[in-house]
Each structure stands twice: as structure tokens, then as C-alpha cells.
Amino acid sequence: MKDKDPNLENSEPNLWRTPDLYLAGFLKAKGLIFSGVEREGRRAFFLFPQTPLLEEFIEDFYNGGAVSALGYKESLRTLREIIYSGGRP
């Protein structure tokens, strides 16, 4: 991956987080396990475990990688429900 996005951060040692809903939806649609949400004020960060595929899937997202349209839509709907309800996966 070229330059790291300053909004993409490491959380706990084995968790990776991003505030980007669309990237999180893509990762979830690709099959990565969604680990929850961290909140900082009004901002939500989506958590995923560090896996060997994580970096590859992030690169796929930024380079126009494909996922099922229905899977992506469902992932976004689920993530939105979680952040607006304040719940966990």
C-alpha cells in the first residue's frame, strides 16, 4: 500500500480500526470478521482482527476491488444499524 491513511489506526494489539464506513463494509463483505465498534465522542471506529488478508483487502478496496453488490449493501446496512443503535455485532 502506498501512503497510509492517517484515519486508519491500530487499536488493541490484535485489532485494527478505521472510521471509514465504506472500507469497513467492503472488508466485512470480503469475509473479514467484524469485531465491534469503538467510540470517541461522536466518531465511530470499526474494528477488525489483524489477519494476513487485511492489508490485501485494504489494497483491493483502494484499487477498485470487487465484492458482491448484495453482500456490500448488507454489510453497510448492518454496520449502520450497529453504530446508530450503539450496539455490538
Inter-CA distances, 19 with 3, 11, 64, 70, Å: 17, 12, 19, 22
What is the residue extent of each domain of the chain? 9-85
pLDDT band at 84 (very low <50, low <70, confident <90, very high): confident
SS3 87: coil
Provide the pLDDT for residue 12.
56
| 74 has pLDDT over 90 | yes
Which tens digits make up the pLDDT trace of 25-51?
Answer: 999 999 999 999 999 998 999 999 999
Rounded Cα distance, 31 and 28, in Å = 5
DSSP 48-82: EE--HHHHHHHHHHHTT----HHHHHHHHHHHHHH
Tell me the average pLDDT across 64-77.
97
pLDDT band at 3 (very low <50, low <70, confident <90, very high): very low
| 87 has pLDDT over 60 | no
* Cβ atoms of 29 and 68 closer than 8 Å: yes
Tell me the average pLDDT across 52-73.
96
> CB 75: neighbour CB atoms within 10 A?
22
